[in-house]
Amino acid sequence: MMIHSDSTLWEVGRRRKSISSVSLVAVLWVCVFSIGLTHSQTTIEPTHPAEINALVALRGSLTNSKEQLPSWYNNGDPCGTQWEGVLCLQSEYPSDLNKDGFSHVTELRLLRKNLTGTLAPELGNLTALKILDVMWNQIGGSIPDTLGNLKNLYLLLLNGNQLTGTLPDSLGFLSGLNRIQIDENQITGPVPTSFQNLSSVQHLHMNNNSLSGRIPPELGKLPKMVHLLLDNNNLSGPLPPEIASAPSLLIIQLDNNHFDKGTTIPRQYFQIPTLLKLSLRNCNIIGGIPVSNMNESQQLGVIDLGLNHLNGSFPILPPQLTAIDLSRNNFRGAIPTQLGSLQNLSFLMMSNNSFSGALPRSLGSAPIYSDPSSRIIWDFQNNNITSIPQNESLLKTSDTQASFYFANNPVCAGQKLAEWCMPTSDFTLLDVGVINNSSSNQGTTCAENCDPPARLVPNAVSHGCRCAVPIIVWYRLKSPGFSLFDLYEREFLVYISSGLQLSIDQVDIFDYTYDPGPRIQMHLHLFPATGYTFNDSEIQRLYDSFSTWLIPDSTIFGPYELLRFTVSHPSTGTEGLSGGAIGGIVVGIVAAAGVIALVAILFFLKKRKSRRPAMARMDQRFLSKIKATGLQEWTWEDMERFTDKFSEKNVLGVGGYGKVYLGLLPDGTKVAIKRKRAAGESSEQFQTEIELLSRVHHRNLVALKGFCQDEESGDEFLVTEFMENGTVEDHLPPRTGTPLTFPTRIRIALGAARGINYLHTEANPPIYHRDIKASNILLDKKLQAKVADFGVGKNAPDPDEEGGVGGGVDTLVKGTPGYLDPEYCLTHTLTDKSDVYSFGVFLMVLLTGRQAITQGKNVVRHVKMAGEADMLWTLVDTYIADQCPTEVVEAWARLTLRCTATDPNDRPSMTEVVNELDKMYKAAGIRSEIDSAPSTPSTTNTTTTSGDRTRYSFLSTPSTTLTSDEDSQTNFMPGYGRLSDA
């Protein structure tokens, strides 16, 4: 793990003119000597030879280990020189190995290392191993039978790979095993009956494989099993009633299996006193819900029996139910009145049955329906409901975050229930994209003016508007005991902060999304209680809490999994941590680092009088090539002069890149200067970005004018043209910019499409933007659209032998919630069609004036629903509704739906998008001097040339600054106050 760089020490380093070089050298020598002395007193026993051989075998079976695990090739001892991911904790040694003269491997942590290859059978020789974690890699092959030799194993974490073959019987004899996670692989064959011997196991997570055969009834003998997840497999046979005998069972999740025809629900499943969730969706079940004494199920909160062949009457349901899904069954008759007595029911799915008559008046009368913070979903589509009581309680509910669906019922004929009668798929009701949350500072008087990666701490007002660097945790609830997270958000914060031994003000749910399952994935931000960053011991403690499941189990929130753990450093960028990456810092390496630091400081003390750009001494050939394109290389002193010494009054905004300043060149030209603090990246990375930007020239792309990389600070600067009218987002509700007319919007759409199409088809190599959104489409003084931030895009993969270009795999999904392609989120494979999806969302935002996500509701779903109901005009922005030709609006809407098609193959290319928009543009009869300009790429970056290009100079006075609450504190310019953090 990299050592944190405290901001105060960083500033001291910046002012080192006042420090005596002799004193500095003396102090460093003392530190290095002390470290060396400590090291000389530390003895580490050698790793057992059999375990070295096991690790070497694994190194050989992982085909890319040399690239992904370079420390495994240092010829040192695995325990003594800290091979990445290898932990040898003496406190965890079995008693028979504690004093045998060797070190032993107790943990193998290789989470998200992009590893390929197979698991070596020699792993069975790691006899002291307690944790085997290779989650979320691309490892194939079968699970070695020799893992059954690991008698001390506590956590077996193999999920999220490409494992095949069958489950070894030998795993069933690991009596100390607490957790088996093999989910999301390609494992076949039966669940071994030997698993009945797993006397300590609590978590059996075997979902999302191709397991077949019957569920062993013997699993009901497991005394500590709390979670049985076998959904999304090919299991057959009956549902065994015996599993209800497991005395600690909280969750049964068996969805999407192929149980035998005629399978019924065992009545014992509704008599489990500890059961929280029963999910048997799409299991080929017939008959009715068993009439049993459900009073024994005092904890049952979620029942999902959808997509089966159920019929008959209802038993008395447990009063604590929060979610019921009985959709796509064969129920008939009146809707049970007892549903109205369920005081906590927020999620009710009854669609695609044959319910008839009136909706019971009791529905909607519980206090939860009048709470404006509650989110409610009812789905009664495709039934025979004839009337909906318009009582006061239901009308009040419609003013909350409630969603009612009654399409294709008699009640929708001839009544003004437009919003309630628009059809939608019951599979997409929770598909609301990522919900931007981070509500702890909404409405705050604190200005978001933290240097990235720092952010305002939660409830910043009560903490003096303090900035701090958060740890970012990607975290997923695998089988929560509810369907709607809104009602449990506060309770979750209490639960997670308590489990981490943090105060509730140290935890922020930045955003969350519903994954298929439904599961809930979220980004948690963890903040230090005081100071700017966490110290290393706290980082280690927090990581262990997540990765070894030290957070106590929750009956409400169910099992969870760690997807990613990322620590950001103020001056060293972002480092994703997994397993051994935070296993500790070896003393000898620190000592060597001290010597290197001493030499480096002596060098800089000698050379600092000539503060020159790093590139000037780094690669003169590169510099000559770049300057030939017309780009200007500037110095630190230039940057200070252009920005009035980085004055806060010139800050245009803060984004993921860093602060953006308004700059003034000597000739009076206004520019935008993006400053990126030193991030530990190589000069070659910055060169690559500059070279890419220097090759891209198009009148609908924001032009790069110059750059600076300062050698002393490591800071990097990009100087781009300044856009007077900010971003498209600034001019859409609820922002305060000048509203855009319909002709202007179609011109903007066409211009932006041309810019993106250029990146896809004419840039060499092609560039995928991957963060297209309204705030990344900038507007010049004539409202000409220019695409920004394509420099953070990704080059397309190299063409194949036939010249085709496929997708590139990202280990970290980048983009903006609401605009992200669902296929990209799922597969991490980036293609040109990912950009097409995002552009389709942008077109919807332009047409409707709505944000991509508003109050948890996704504009894509709303437009699709309105299109299915032939009610698109109800969504058109009222400001432009009377300006839009009908045929153009219809063509625009059709294009947005094509762009956002679920299957990427059904989406048009950006070339097709440009052609379609050009047709609409001409059909609308729009004429403008700007729009008659040629669309060929420009050949220069200058803004003062003569002829037609003078139309695009940026010398005019910027427009009035925004006065909204979030901007008034810092006087941000339009378009720069809400830059992307992606």
674 belongs to an annotated ligand binding site: yes
Number of alpha carbons in the 13 Å side-chain half-sphere of residue 615: 27
Which is the catalytic residue, given 771, 835, 877, 967? 771
Nearest-angstrom CA–CA distance, 316 and 293? 8
Q: What is the DSSP letter of 613?
A: B
User: 603: buried, middle or exposed (CB in 10 Å: 19+, 13-18, 0-12)?
Assistant: exposed
Report the distance separating Cα 726 and Cα 703, nearest Å: 15
DSSP state of 700: T
For CA atoms 551, 553, 557, 562, the dihedral sign is positive
Q: Is 715 a catalytic residue?
A: no
Q: List, in order, residues 6 or more apart from 863 with CB less than 8 Å away.
A: 844, 848, 872, 875, 893, 896, 897, 900
The Cα–Cα gap between 841 and 624 comes to 41
Q: Cis (ω within 30 of 0) for the bond into 904?
A: no
Question: Read out DSSP for 5-19?
Answer: --HHHHHHHHTGGGS
Cα separation, 955 vs 599, whole angstroms:
48
- DSSP 8-state secondary structure symbol assigned to residue 784: -
Query: 38-58 as b/e, with b when 16 or more CB fall inside 10 Å?
Result: eeeeeeebebbeebbebbebb
Can you state the angle between helices 832-848 and 859-868, rounded to 10 degrees? 70
Residue 252: Cβ within 10 Å count: 23
Nearest Cα to 542, choosing from 558, 525, 555, 557?
525
Contacts of residue 422, Cβ cutoff 8 Å, sequence gap at least 6: 405, 407, 865, 866, 868, 869, 871
CB-based burial label for 322 (10 Å; 0-12, 13-18, 19+): buried
Return the SS3 of 64: coil
Tokens representing 836?
């097409």
CA distance 619 to 621: 5
Give the CB-side neighbour count of residue 303, counting CA atoms within 13 A.
Answer: 22
How open is the CA angle 339-403-847, to the nearest 5 degrees? 170
Backbone dihedral angles phi then psi of residue 172, each to the nearest 5 degrees: -70, -5
Q: How far apart are CA 623 and CA 896, in angstroms?
A: 43
- Which among 961, 965, 957, 954 is positioned nearest to 976, based on CA atoms? 961
- Whether 756 contacts 839, CB under 8 Å: yes
Mapping DSSP to helix (H, G, I), strand (E, B) and coil, where does residue 468 land? strand
Spatial distance between the Cα atoms of 626 and 691, rounded to a whole number of angstroms: 7
Q: Give DSSP secondary structure letters for 266-325.
A: -GGGGG-TT--EEE-TTS-BEE------GGG-TT--EEE--SSEE-S---PPPTT--EEE
* Cα torsion angle, 497, 551, 559, 520, sign: positive
Record the tokens describing residue 354, joined without a space.
């044959």
The H-or-E segment that residue 491 falls in is: helix 489-499
Task: Give binding residues for ATP as ranges.
Answer: 674
Task: Give binding residues as ranges.
Answer: 674
Catalytic residue IDs = 771
